Amino acid sequence: MDDFYRDYILDHYRHPRNFGHLERIDAQAEDLNPLCGDQIRMELELDDGVVKDVRFSGKGCAISQASASMLTERVKGMKLDDVAKLSKDAVLEDVGIGISPTRMKCAMLGLRVLKSAAIGELAGWPDEE
């Protein structure tokens, strides 16, 4: 688990990409992990069913914030339908390092919120699908 705290993870934690808010919001969602209080909000700007721009905001641990930050880089230009189909493997591929079972919810919070924005209702936990 200490392998997780690599330079690029800490870089995303301390300098999150696409952090903040959009002027035009076509889809949005937010949620928190009740176990630890981590919060993520995702805002999407769409163009003909494609993610034109994305912003996230929130607070929490390095795992939740860095994985959300990396996710925003992945989904720009992606079809909304494909965003809704993203699996936990996408996040695990981005973070590149094994996540312990006790921290899996932290890593999946951003994806859950993003998928919720894409489908317009609260999505399930990606690690439980």
Partner 1 sequence: MIAVDGKIEQIIADFPILARPTSRGKRLVYLDSAATSQKPRAVIQALVDYYEQYNANIHRGVYELAARATAEFEQARVKLARFIGAETNEIVWVRNTTEAVNLVAYSWGNANVRAGDAILLTELEHHSDLVPWQLLAQRTGAELRFIPVDERGRYVLDDLDALLDGCKLVACAHVSNTLGTILPLDVVIPRAHAAGAVVLVDGAQGAPHLAVNVKALDADFYTFSGHKMLGPTGIGVLYGKHELLAGMPPFFSGGDMIRKVGYAQTTFADPPRRFEAGTSNIADAIAYGVAVEYLQGVGMEWVREHERALTAYALQRLAEFEPRGLAIYGPRDPAAISGVISFNLADVHAHDLASILDTEGICVRAGHHCTMPLMEKMGWSATARASFYIYNTEADVDALCAGIEKAARLFGI
By CB under 8 A, name the binding residues for partner 1: 1-2, 4-5, 10, 14, 35-38, 59-63, 100, 102-103, 106
Is residue 106 within 8 A of residue 88, CB to CB? The reply is: no
Residue with smaller CB distance to partner 1, 86 or 111: 111
In the complex, what is the shortest distance from the CB of residue 37 to partner 1, in angstroms, rounded to a whole number?
6
Is residue 15 within 8 A of residue 91, CB to CB? The reply is: no
Strand partners, 50: 47, 79
Is residue 6 within 8 A of residue 97, CB to CB? The reply is: yes
In the complex, what is the shortest distance from the CB of residue 1 to partner 1, in angstroms, rounded to a whole number?
5
Residue with smaller CB distance to partner 1, 14 or 24: 14
Tokens at residue 27, please? Answer: 């889809």
Residue with smaller CB distance to partner 1, 22 or 62: 62
